[in-house]
Amino acid sequence: MPKPPPLTKYQTNKLAVLEPRLKLCVRSANLDLAKQITAEIQLLLRPTGHEVRLLQSKNWLFETAMEANSILFAKLGFEGVMKKSSEGTRLNLEATSLLAICYLREKNLIKARELIIKAIRNIGNIKSDERRKQFHKRLIERLEEESILVGLQTEGEAPLDISKVNQEAINLIMSKNEDQILIEMGKAVPKDSIDILKEVRDTYQLNLPKPDVKFLPPPLTEETKLELGKRASSALKRVAWRAICNPESEVYKAWSQGLSVVYDKKYIAGAIVTSFSSFSISATMIAASAVALAIKFGVEVFCETFVPSGLMIDKKEKP
């Protein structure tokens, strides 16, 4: 692929607006808007041959699709990016890792394992020890979060009851501090999540070069309730954040204005229950813990602290 010319001032100015908007679509899972923005970026970049920059935008588009539960569209997209990008590049690593997550969400552990191994091999191409450590930490933690999320999903179970979730959340708020709430969340993580966690961790560790094993964070186990609760909370923020922190939602508008009706009318519990139900999550204590943490933090702190993080390390981050 020939090297494209430098971006024009017009292209640079347009991308400075369009790319941040597209990245925000991942958080809100706004697939329709992501498609629209990506189409604009394609019209801007394709005529001048800036395919690599365009592929990065497409990774954001397909990640948005994954978060919007359009898994087939996301899988086909990531496969396309992998074919068009060179192995060992940041783009290829990102697409490979996110495709592994797509298969993990489908509980296709065999295919997920193949892609995890491929991603590990790509990370191995990074020369800097510190950079490899960062990538391994971020990828294994994201895979562990997804494992917990998948294990929480149950088909055919009775749906969450808003009143029951709200009452349990009130009990937690009145009797527990933040760490104790996280411990309760850790206790509520089901065996399915623990089993998938172990399988993913074993796959990851067994395929690492021995010198890189030290780069991994300590494993999550059934015994480490606080750490398990923290990781479960981190996993669930991808669901809860969209439910109550989307600036366009009625819940966010009311909550950010400090209206007591948010609590009186069970708005937060209702929003989290609705979003968890869309992911087939039916564990009352998990939902109640998420509600309790949201109320304890307050809107500004919760929405800033629990904003979903990206998989890849930003280029501006220091090693």
- Give 79-113 pLDDT, tens digit per residue: 999 999 998 898 999 999 999 999 999 999 999 99
- Let me know: does 23 contact 60? Beta carbons within 8 Å: yes
The pLDDT confidence band at residue 306, using thresholds 50, 70 and 90, is confident
What pLDDT does 252 receive? 82
Contacts of 204-209 spanning 24+ positions with Cβ under 8 A: 204/116, 204/120, 204/140, 204/143, 207/116, 207/117, 207/120, 207/121, 208/120, 208/136, 209/124
State how far the Cα of 224 lies from the Cα of 13, in Å rounded to an integer.
48
Provide the CB-side half-sphere exposure for 257 (13 A, CA): 11
Domain boundaries, the chain: 9-125, 152-227+235-305
Say what the pLDDT of residue 259 is. 61
CB 222 within 8 A of CB 194: yes
Percent of the chain at pLDDT exceeding 90: 61
Q: Dmax over Cα atoms in the chain, in whole Å?
A: 63
Distance (Å, whole) CA 101 – CA 204: 14
The first and second tokens of residue 136, run together, are 């391994």
Segment 113-120 shows an average pLDDT of 96
Residues 97 and 90: their CA atoms lie apart, in Å, by 11
As a whole number, the mean pLDDT across the chain is 89
Higher pLDDT: 314 or 231? It is 231
pLDDT for residue 1 = 62
Q: Is the pLDDT of residue 318 over 60?
A: no
Phi, psi of 260, rounded to the nearest 5 degrees: -65, -20
Query: What architecture does CATH give domain 9-125?
Result: Alpha Horseshoe (1.25)
Task: Identify the pLDDT of residue 319.
Answer: 38
Angle (CA) 42 48 52, round 5°: 60
The CA–CA distances, whole Å, from 111 to 104, 145, 193 equal 8, 18, 18
Rg (CA), the chain: 20
Q: How distant, in Å, are the alpha carbons of 1, 141, 282, 307 from that of 235?
A: 38, 9, 15, 11
Q: How many residues does the chain have?
A: 319
Q: What is the pLDDT of residues 268-290, one digit of tens each?
A: 888 899 989 888 898 999 999 99
> What is the per-residue pLDDT across 59-72, written as a single tens digit (0 to 9) for each?
999 999 999 999 99
Collapse the DSSP code of 238 into the 3-class scheme (helix H, G, I; strand E, B; otherwise coil) and give the result.
helix
pLDDT value for 155: 78
- Residue 18 CB burial class (10 angstroms; 0-12, 13-18, ≥19): middle
Q: How open is the CA angle 192-193-195, to the nearest 5 degrees?
A: 65
| C-alpha–C-alpha distance, residues 58 and 136, integer Å | 23
**Mean pLDDT confidence for 134-144:** 92
Handedness of CA 162, 164, 169, 174 (dihedral sign): positive
3-class SS letters over 43-81? HHHHHHCCHHHHHHHHHHHHHHHHHCCCHHHHHHHHHHH
pLDDT tens readout for residues 174-201: 999 999 999 999 999 999 999 999 999 9
Tokens linked to 39: 């189409």
